[in-house]
Structure 1
Amino acid sequence: MTSFASDAAIERIALGVIDRTLPKPEWTHAAHFAAALWLLRYRRDLTTAPAIKGLISAYNEATNTPNTDTGGYHHTITLASMRAASAHLAGYPETASLHRILDVLLASPLRHPDWLLDYWSRETLFSVAARRDWTPPDLAPLPF
């Protein structure tokens, strides 16, 4: 289902973001969720809103992706995705393998990068305000 056949593969993604060595082409939609799950299980200190913003912004800069009003880090998308990953992870015992958890997550509606458009209008989600700060959904409340 994914290219993450082991927990070690997920850890490599997460550590690559933390130490800013993950090649940019590997920073896919699935990799975002892989890193989120790993961080939520092993580095919760990096999952607060300020910490995750700093982590991803620094990774973007290291991979020559400017954090601007039109590209790079997006606060609302990041926080919504972290909430989704956290809710998904909470349904499993602490001993469950992350790559299996990721497989199930990526078999859900979250597999589509546009899943957020069920909760935000395109105009609101892709606004400068939503990129910079948390903007609540304007179509429907998040289910988690």
Structure 2
Amino acid sequence: MTDYPVRHFETDEAVARVGEGLLHADLPKTEWTHEAHLAATTYLLLKHPEVDLDTELPGLIRRYNESVGGVNDDTQGYHDTITKAYLAGIRLFLREADRTEPLHELVNELLHSPMGKRDWPLRFWSRERLFSVEARRGWVEPDVAALP
């Protein structure tokens, strides 16, 4: 996998911007990066506990994708297994994190943690299974190792 430089968040407001941008489907498409996915999910977990991410995150991401002209189909857009894997990973990270530090610092730490890496799901799924249509459409169990 290509090693991409991590894009950090400089302020709590920058994290809130991507979180609210996902929630309201108005974040510019160019800002919807891997880091933004993780920051938005972290933000929603910590700042919007009324949002049941286990049930609502798939719809939020699909709606956002469509709002910027994207398509959610068998080859692009929303990916259920990857989304749910990262949601589990973010929760794992937050259980052990220092939540007293500023939100953007917490997110930046997540991005450098194992759970924030682009290839983190490949520790648990084979590439073939993870990138299958079945895994994109719905949850598929890991075939390499159990999620922690």
With the length of structure 2 as denominator, give the TM-score of the two structures. Answer: 0.89
1:111 Cα offset (Å):
4.0
Q: 1:139 aligned to 126, 129, 144, which one?
A: 144
Residue 53 (1) aligns with residue 58 (2): yes
Query: Which structure 1 residue ranges, 5 or more long, are not aligned?
Result: none
**CA contact 2:10–2:104 (8 Å) conserved in 1:** yes
Equivalences, count: 143
Q: How many Å separate the matches in 1 of 2:46 and 2:92?
A: 12
Find 1:32's aligned residue among 37, 41, 60. 37
Q: Secondary structure at the match of 1:66?
A: coil
TM-score of the pair, normalised by structure 1: 0.91
Q: How many Å apart are 1:92 and its aligned residue? A: 3.1
Match of 1:9 among 11, 14, 20: 14
Gaps of 5+ in 2: 1-5
Which deviates more from structure 2 when the two are superposed, residues 43-52 or residues 71-80?
Answer: 43-52
Q: Aligned partners of 2:49, 2:80: CA distance in 1, in Å?
A: 17
Match of 2:94 among 72, 89, 96: 89
1:65 to 70, 92, 98: 70
Q: Hey, what's the Cα distance between the residues in 1 that align with 2:52 and 2:82?
A: 14
Alignment CA distance shift 1:109-1:95 (3 Å): closer
* Matches of 1:92 and 1:108, distance apart in 2: 11
Q: CA RMSD in A?
A: 1.6
Say which of 59, 78, 83 aligns to 1:78.
83
2:123 matched to which residue of 1? Answer: 118
Identity of aligned residues (%): 43
Distance in 1, matches of 2:92 and 2:117, equals: 17
**Aligned partner letter, 2:124:** Y
2:3 aligns with: none
Q: Is the 8 A contact 1:75 1:131 kept in 2?
A: yes
Q: Please say if residues 69 and 132 of structure 1, whose CA atoms lie closer than 8 Å, have aligned partners that are also in contact.
A: yes
Asked if the contact 2:80/2:139 (under 8 Å) is kept, the reply is yes
3-state SS of paired residue (1:46): coil
- Bigger mean CA deviation after superposition, 23-32 or 89-98: 89-98
Does the CA-based 8 Å contact 2:8-2:108 persist in structure 1?
A: no
